[in-house]
Structure 1
Amino acid sequence: MLLLPGRGLLLGLAAVAVAVMAARLMSWWSPSAGFRLFVPGELARYRGGPGDPGLYLALLGRIYDVSSGRRHYEPGAHYSGFAGRDASRAFVTGDYSEAGLVDDVSDLSFSEMLTLQNWLSFYEKNYEFVGRVIGRFYGEDGLPTPELTQVEAMITKGLEENKQELKEKQKFPPCNAEWSSTRGSRFWCSQKSGGVSRDWIGVPRKLYKAGAKEPHCVCVRTTGPPSDQTLDNPTHSNRGDLDHPNLGDYTGCPPLASTCSFPL
């Protein structure tokens, strides 16, 4: 595959990030000494109220002492519902009702699992890990349950999908876009459109993706071999990725224009 300047480095870093995160997940969830096991009823005592032994919350079965963030989690605070329990689902859904403050994440998507992973990273960095909850994610022996193993697999899959999305974004960076009630719509490409720095500008095209209701505007390279061919392939058409089967033209826009305007 053709690797444009800077693209190989970005993809390499993405691959490293996936490997590092997978290793980190394994270290977070593997057996280790120096932590307590709590049953849910015991953890419920740690809500930070008068006479309570502490202020803890759990995420994916891992318990953190959040006393240093008391103003966020103590009784009456905005996130008090998280204290004394594992409310992993609410970290994604924002449902702070009793029905929503639960640990069932079995129907979350890959991207939602990545949100949980980001929250897990936040608590690992900012609060002290103190134990594990016996139940959905850890057994009485403190070892991960099959459900936690499934969560780990989904997070790893989500990281891989992010890596693939980064790869596609390097190939087809999003267009710049604007709309005005007086001038209509305009799409245009630049060397930094879509937040992707590159040494080419490209032309606007519609990119159709499986499962998407509508195409979205991307910038397409117009010279050199297609991205799925090597530089030394003698048969390429020197049209970049213009002939990709998932692309479509904008009606009324010159085929090699870097800007497409659609007046009202």
Structure 2
Amino acid sequence: MADTENLVPPPPAEAAPLMTPINLILISFFVVMAYLKLRPSPPVTLPKGPAPVVFKTFTPKTLLPNNGTNNQPVYLAVRGKVFDVTPGRNFYGPGGPYQNFAGRDATRGLACGSFDESMLTEDLEGPLDDLKGLGDDEMDALRGWEERFTEKYLAVGKLVPANSEEAKEAGL
């Protein structure tokens, strides 16, 4: 027992300082993470884009100004449907290879594969083209064009004769 009398108690454990560099880094990291998690999110806003287009009724005369001149959109009609072909302004707008069809009923010209002015309806107050005289090949070509326009462009309206009941109801 003599050996136990000479034993010295161990020194008390030293407390590590709280503000060590690694602790400061960890505390900073947690504060930043908490801020990122709890900060308010910005309000949701709708993307800005072109103004919405309302589906309208057109007559050949009211369709005509939509030919891409004077900053107007470029519309054309195929079998009574009016398409906004403004994204294809290089083709259908002023100076493009299909510019004759801008603001017009392009049905017969597309069916016949002709850009000639004679393919366009001359009497804007008269009836729409009834497509008489077109053969099966022309009708097939027309269906192909119609599908292409339906897939690629937005339909913005319908084309009706100037003196029709629909035109009168639409105030045209």
Pairwise TM-score range, normalised by the shorter structure: 0.5 to 0.7
Gap change, CA 1:87 and 1:104, over 3 Å in 2: farther
TM-score by length of 1: 0.38
* Partner of residue 69, structure 1: 88
* Partner of residue 145, structure 1: none
1:118 correspondence with 2:144: yes
* Partner of residue 43, structure 1: 63
* Structure with greater strand percent: 1
* Partner of residue 134, structure 2: 108
> Matched residue of 2:77: which SS?
strand
* Partner of residue 35, structure 2: none
CA offsets, 1:30-77, max 9 Å, x none? xxxx6210111110000001243x110000110000011111011111
User: In the aligned structure 2, how far is the partner of 1:88 from the partner of 1:128?
Assistant: 17
Gap change, CA 1:36 and 1:117, over 3 Å in 2: same
Identify the structure with bigger relative contact order (alpha carbons < 8 Å, sequence gap 6+): 2
Gap change, CA 1:51 and 1:67, over 3 Å in 2: closer
* Partner of residue 124, structure 2: none
CA contact (8 A) 1:36 1:131 kept: yes
**Unaligned 5+ runs, structure 2:** 1-53, 122-128, 168-172
For the aligned residues, what is the CA RMSD?
A: 2.2
* Partner of residue 90, structure 1: 109
Please point out which of 127, 136, 140 is paired with 2:153: 127
**Unaligned 5+ runs, structure 1:** 1-33, 143-264
User: Across the two proteins, how many residue pairs are aligned to each other?
Assistant: 107
Tell me which amino acid in the other structure corresponds to 1:86: D
For the pair shown, the structure with the greater C-alpha radius of gyration is 2
CA contact (8 A) 1:88 1:104 kept: no
* Structure with greater helix percent: 2
* Partner of residue 166, structure 2: 141
> Matched residue of 2:69: which SS?
coil
CA contact (8 A) 1:95 1:101 kept: no
CA offsets, 1:80-123, max 9 Å, x none? 01110102111122332221224452111123212111111100
Q: Identity over the aligned pairs, expressed in percent?
A: 36
Aligned pairs (5 A) from 1:154-173: none
> Matched residue of 2:137: which SS?
helix
CA offsets, 1:229-262, max 9 Å, x none? xxxxxxxxxxxxxxxxxxxxxxxxxxxxxxxxxx
Gap change, CA 1:104 and 1:90, over 3 Å in 2: farther
> Matched residue of 1:41: which SS?
helix
CA offsets, 1:147-205, max 9 Å, x none? xxxxxxxxxxxxxxxxxxxxxxxxxxxxxxxxxxxxxxxxxxxxxxxxxxxxxxxxxxx
Regions of 4+ moved over 6 Å: none
TM-score by length of 2: 0.56
User: In the aligned structure 2, how far is the partner of 1:99 from the partner of 1:111?
Assistant: 20
